[in-house]
């Protein structure tokens, strides 16, 4: 089944403890992206990647890192999580960027930083 | 700077009534606009894109460049339309492609 997967789905951690949220897609998509969803703020783009080894900042990149060593994987790294990073995180992917391309979203990862 | 505004956080309508979810955008270039929907406990998924000019699940949306709007409409609401709706603007630059989402409108269809 063509899909975007994220792990873990739920995570509770403490301030300062490094964590990684994995994202994988099996659709051979070039474009991948991370968003965070907060009540009243909607979805905000954190980082995106146009292709392997090409990443760029979205609207809210502070406190996050990403890497794109393989086409299918796009992990989100929080080196030193803080409580303001408590949020619902979505990974998405799409085919090579053309007009009107559909983003396919993962199921979400709910992160709580204590 | 690019911006997407969805003025209503919550919209409640009765079943069978018309629905209009508002979306206004701010972007100096040629906009790509989308509506995404998130049903309860499901993933965010594409509903409509302006480039296709299609009708999905009875919903339509027309890009009005003069009013910088991309409102989502349906003539007769159904209970299964209850969901969170996000308007999104995609914009491309040299080697970049970003999406900006509105804050979302929660549609509640009352039986």
**In whole angstroms, what is the distance from residue B109 CA to residue B81 CA?**
7
Q: What angle do CA B74, B53, B19 make, to 5 degrees?
A: 10
Q: Are A75 and A67 in contact (CB under 8 A)?
A: yes
Predicted confidence (pLDDT) per residue in B82-92, tens digit: 999 999 999 88
Window A:15-74, CB contacts with B under 8 Å: 31, 33, 35, 40-45, 48, 50, 54, 56, 58-59
User: Residues in chain B whose beta carbon is closer than 8 A to a beta carbon of chain A?
Assistant: 6, 9, 32, 34, 36, 43-46, 49-52, 86, 88, 90, 92, 95-104
Closest CA to B83 of B55, B34, B42: B42
B4 versus B53: which is more confidently predicted?
A: B4
Q: Are strands A104-105 and A87-94 parallel, antiparallel or unpaired?
A: antiparallel
Task: Identify the sign of the CA torsion B56, B2, B84, A90.
Answer: positive
Q: What is the pLDDT of residue B96?
A: 82
Return the pLDDT at A55: 95
Which pLDDT belongs to residue B56? Answer: 87
Tell me which of A39 and B70 has the higher pLDDT.
B70
Residue of B101, B102, B106 for testing the chain A interface, max A β-carbons within 10 Å: B101
Burial code of B68-91, b = ≥16 C-beta within 10 A, e = fewer? bbbbbebeebeeebbbbbbbbbbb
Q: Residue A53: is the preceding peptide bond cis (ω within 30°)?
A: no
pLDDT in 10s for each residue of chain A, 114 residues? 889 999 999 999 999 999 999 999 999 999 999 999 998 898 999 999 999 999 999 999 999 999 999 999 999 999 999 999 999 999 999 987 777 788 999 999 999 999
């Amino acid at each position: 089944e063509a899909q975007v997967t994220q792990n873990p789905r739920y995570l509770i951690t403490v301030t300062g403890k490094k964590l990684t949220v994995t994202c994988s897609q099996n659709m051979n998509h070039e474009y991948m992206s991370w968003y965070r969803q907060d009540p009243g703020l909607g979805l905000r783009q954190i980082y995106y990647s146009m292709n392997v080894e090409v990443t760029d900042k979205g609207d809210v990149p502070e406190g996050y890192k990403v890497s794109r060593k393989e086409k299918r994987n796009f992990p989100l790294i929080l080196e030193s999580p803080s409580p303001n990073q408590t949020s619902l995180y979505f990974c998405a992917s799409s085919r090579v960027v053309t007009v009107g391309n559909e983003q396919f979203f993962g199921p979400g990862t709910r992160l709580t930083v204590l | 700077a690019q911006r997407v505004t969805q003025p209503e956080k919550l919209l409640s309508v009765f079943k069978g009534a018309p629905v209009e979810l508002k979306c206004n955008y701010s972007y100096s270039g040629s906009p790509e606009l989308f509506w995404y929907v998130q049903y309860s406990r499901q993933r965010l998924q594409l509903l409509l894109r302006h480039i296709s000019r299609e009708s999905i699940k009875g919903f339509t949306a027309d890009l009005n460049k003069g009013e910088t709007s991309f409102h989502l409409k349906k003539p007769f609401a159904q209970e299964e339309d209850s969901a969170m709706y996000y308007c999104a603007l995609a914009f491309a630059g040299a080697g970049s492609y970003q999406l900006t989402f509105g804050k979302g409108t929660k549609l509640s269809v009352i039986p």
